[in-house]
Amino acid sequence: MKRPAAFLGLLLTLAGLGWALDRFFPLPPAPLYSPIVLAADGTVLHAFLNPTQKWRMKTELREITPALRRTIVAKEDRYFYYHFGVNPLAILKAAGRNLTGSGRTTGASTITMQVARLLEPKERTVGNKLREMLRAVQLEAHFSKAEILQLYLNLVPYGGNVEGVKSAALLYFQQTPDYLSLAQTVTLAIIPNRPRGLVLGRHNAAIQQERNRWLRRFGQQGLFPPQAIADALLEPLDVQRHAAPALAPHLARRLVRQQPGQAIIASTLQRGKQARAEDLTRNYVRRLQGLGITNAAVLVINNRTRAVEAYVGSADFRDALTKGQNDGVQAVRSPGSTLKPLLYALALDKGLVTPKLVLADVPTNFNGYQPENFDKRCAGEVPLDRALAYSLNIPAVRVLSQLGVPTFTAKLRAGGFRRVARDAPRLGLSTILGGCGATLEELTNLYVTLAAAGRYAPLRWASSRPGRPAQTTALFSDAAAFLITDILAQLTRPDLPVGYETSLRLPKIAWKTGTSYGRRDAWSIGYNKEYTIGVWVGNFSGQGSPALTGSEVATPLLFDLFNTLAYNSPNDWFQPPTSLDFRLVCTETGLPPGPDCPNQLIDYFLPGISSARRCQHQKQVLLSADGQYVYCRACAPDAGFRREQYPNLLPEVLAFKAAQGLPYRQLPPHNPGCQLVRGGRDRAPGITSPLANTEYVLNRGEQQQLLLSCTTDNEVRQVYWYINDEFYRAAGATERVFFRPPPGALKISCADDHGRNTDVRVTVSEL
């Protein structure tokens, strides 16, 4: 009984001693690996030096093939799976050789002992060898044999700053270890014993000779089939060191910053798509440099999974002159007109518009903000689908003023627009024309949402859940998404690049262009059912270029990308959802026809949501018998008048037609004998120039003047202008009046011939 108890006590003592030693002499820290970013298929996209400036890429357990495992174990430590870190028999044999041999010290190192030495490099002495043995036992207690072999393969030297079998495989054979041939595997197994004397690319002949010697030995040992050995002996060795993989440099750096300390980061990028997107972008921008355009960024999204499959932050990451290391995907820029599809989708859902609703496209003062169309022209009146297809600015601002800026910016915030979320309290009507900040990734995801029937979800860069769709939220309805897509797929539009009208290279996509103020940013974003591709072209310096427009500069690259990356997409297209229906509308207004609407067409609408207001593009008026005057109900005689229909146009549309000399049926003046004085400001003149609360700086040496203009009700014939409450002059309702203002604060008033009045205040200074 005493002997078992004593034995148990000894075991407990040894266990306690081992625990104490392990606690007070912990294992050295884990190796510092080179961060690598993988493509969706597991291949290496981009690799970085580790913090000690070494190429030490982590070899995963799955990459250690049976051939690699058998080769290393047979060559380095054939009893690896049977000892506890130290091989006592090998130590005794080595000690005997050292005592009776030439005096050269050999260590009989096991693979585990080599790992201990590689983790803590020390001078080769007897004392250090004993410490190495203790560390080996400690490693065996903490790690499995597979993990120890993995550590060994991650730390073995290959000369210079290359460590680990994966680094050597990628830098010399451009393959990961699990794709190496038997000859390549044996080559990498023999070099760590002589990393300075056997350098791949410089000593290939000597390495091949040593490789073949080991291959024959492995054949004699029956480690591999004879045919595999014969094939490996015939394989030539013509290798040299290659640059580390460097695709997707911008996203690779972004992911490494987001996941510090992570050795292996899996991305969603498709290697082939990424390489082709980089080549297309680089070559395309080279052709633009003569126009003063030096950079571009591209994003390719899989609509089903929201996975980013190609990410090009700049045309050339290595080009310091064009600031190539800037990331154009994340850069905050003016979005130009690219937000208009969202505006019209929201307006459709609110019942404010339908595709054929006619909008006013005339110079308009929106409480001091007076936008212009890109070409400085106005169409007068235009249906919504044409306004979007032609990217007209004034109708878009008009719809935004109806929808409300807070409603619009709230949707942008819900759609992931971070700068808009920050600046929302300061944003106004100019937001829809690029008066806010947005990034290519935010804008591209907005169009992914259009392709996904209005469902929003964040983009996916890392493939933690490959192929699994993200949770989505409704940004707008599937009906609105389809209607916007239907409009954006039209080919009769001014932003179709020159030469593409009959081109066979025109992909089947819906797309929208945008150009920021000053021609600093050109955008083109397109989508089909499978993919959405966003393109930005410009200069990171912010310098504009006369040639920089979305249609002529960004769209050709968009088309090239679709034709190259998505050429095999299914040839199906978006179908109208069941929530949509058709109805007849009046051609003149796009509203359901009234009794005086002979011309009608078919339009989509959202039942229960779209406005059911009847068309009133004509109004009935009471005319004198000779047709010279119009009567109101207060002054109409009992007899001697007739009823006729006249166009019921907005005052600003009437003013535009008069100013442009466009024909329209003008209403006769009101009965001069009418004693009714019309009050109220609901139909008072709208002063379109000068803009309210604006400072005008005039050159003292030039005879510069300010323009006085207004819009009025169609019954108004004359207006009266006042400067600082002093009468200036009378003018026709649509007449443009110029005057030289005095410096200082001015109150400008306009009264019409019905007694209604409007004021604006401006400031004039002179240089």
Q: Residue 488: helix, strand or coil by DSSP?
A: helix
Kindly tell me the burial class for residue 69, based on how many C-beta atoms sit within 10 Å of its own C-beta (0-12, 13-18, 19 or more): middle
Q: What digits encode the pLDDT tens for the residues 601-652?
A: 999 999 999 998 898 888 888 888 887 888 877 787 878 788 888 888 877 7
State the Cα–Cα distance between residues 70 and 718, nearest whole angstrom: 100
Task: List pLDDT tens digits, range 59-103.
Answer: 999 999 999 999 999 998 888 999 888 888 777 776 666 666 554
pLDDT band (50, 70, 90) for residue 496: confident
Told to judge if 552 belongs to the known catalytic residues of this protein, a careful annotator would answer no
What's the rounded Cα separation, in Å, for the pair 433 and 337? 5
Are the beta carbons of 58 and 36 closer than 8 angstroms?
yes
Helices assigned H by DSSP within 576-619: none
Rounded Cα–Cα distance for residues 16 and 275 (Å):
58
Cβ neighbour number for residue 578 with a 10 Å cutoff: 8
Q: Give me the phi and psi of 626, to 5 degrees please.
A: -90, 0
Q: Which of 76, 210, 381, 442 is catalytic?
A: 76
What pLDDT band is residue 442 in, cutting at 50, 70 and 90? very high
Judge if the upstream peptide bond of residue 236 is cis by omega within 30 degrees of 0.
no
Match 């008048």 to its residue by tokens: 641
Q: What is the pLDDT of residue 677?
A: 45
d(CA 56, CA 33): 5
Q: How far is CA 723 from CA 87, 300, 727, 756, in A?
A: 105, 57, 6, 16
- CA 301/CA 309 separation, integer angstroms: 6
- pLDDT at position 586 over 70: yes
Q: Binning pLDDT at 50, 70 and 90, where does residue 272 land? A: very high
Instruction: State phi, psi for 227 to the nearest 5 degrees.
Output: -65, -40
Which residues fall within 8 angstroms of residue 527, CB to CB, at 6 or more apart? 303, 447, 448, 450, 451, 485, 509, 510, 511, 533
Q: How many residues are listed for the chain in this entry?
A: 767
Whether the per-residue pLDDT at 466 is higher than 50: the answer is: no
User: What single string gives the DSSP state of each residue in 332-344?
Assistant: -B--TTTTHHHHH
Of 335, 397, 403, whose CA–CA distance to 369 is shortest? 397
Look up residue 253 and give its two tokens: 């750096």
Q: How confident is the model over 35-62, as pLDDT tens digits? A: 999 999 999 999 999 999 999 999 999 9
Domains along the chain with CATH numbers: 48-234 (1.10.3810.10), 307-565 (3.40.710.10), 686-766 (2.60.40.10)
Q: Which amino acid is at 660?
A: Q
Q: Which of 740, 737, 705 is nearest to 720 (CA)?
A: 737
Per-residue pLDDT, 16: 59
Strand partners, 729: 721
Predicted pLDDT of residue 755: 73
> Is 294 in contact with 66 (CB distance < 8 Å)?
no
Alpha carbon distance 628, 307 (integer Å): 69
Check whether 361 has a pLDDT greater than 80: yes
pLDDT at 491: 84
Phi and psi dihedrals of 107, rounded to 5? -105, -10
Q: Look over the chain and give the mean of its residue pLDDT values, rounded to a whole number.
A: 88
| pLDDT score, position 3 | 61
Catalytic residue among 337, 477, 689, 709: 337
Q: Please list, residue by residue across 288-310, b when 16 or more beta carbons sit within 10 angstroms of its beta carbon and e when fewer do.
A: beeeebbbbbbbbbbbebbbbbb
How far lies 653's CA from each of 585, 614, 713, 714, in Å? 21, 20, 10, 9
Catalytic residue status for 76: yes
Tell whether the model's pLDDT for residue 15 goes beyond 80: no
Contact 154, 166 (CB under 8 A): yes
DSSP code of residue 305: T
pLDDT of residue 463: 78
302, 294 in Cβ contact below 8 A? Answer: no
- Please say whether the beta carbons of 173 and 207 come within 8 A: no
Q: How far apart are CA 686 and CA 367, in angstroms?
A: 9
Average pLDDT over residues 108-131: 85
Secondary structure of 65-127 as H, E, C letters: CHHHHHHHHHHHCCCCCCCCCCCHHHHHHHHHHHHHCCCCCCCCCCHHHHHHHHHCCCCCCHH
Could you tell me the pTM of the whole model? 0.84
Q: Are 515 and 552 in contact (CB under 8 A)?
A: no
Q: 501: how many CB neighbours lie within 10 A of its CB?
A: 10
- State the greatest distance between any 2 C-alpha atoms of the chain, in Å, as a whole number: 141
Is residue 285 pLDDT above 80, yes or no?
yes
Q: Tens digit of pLDDT for each residue in 530-560?
A: 999 999 999 999 999 999 999 999 999 999 9
Query: What pLDDT was estimated at residue 676?
Result: 57
Nearest to 353, CA basis, from 388, 393, 379, 405 = 388
DSSP lists the bridge partners of residue 366 as 369
| Burial of 70: CB neighbours in 10 Å, binned 0-12, 13-18, 19+ | middle
The Cα 696–Cα 762 span in angstroms is 8
- What distance in Å separates the CA atoms of residue 86 and residue 27, rounded to the nearest whole number? 17
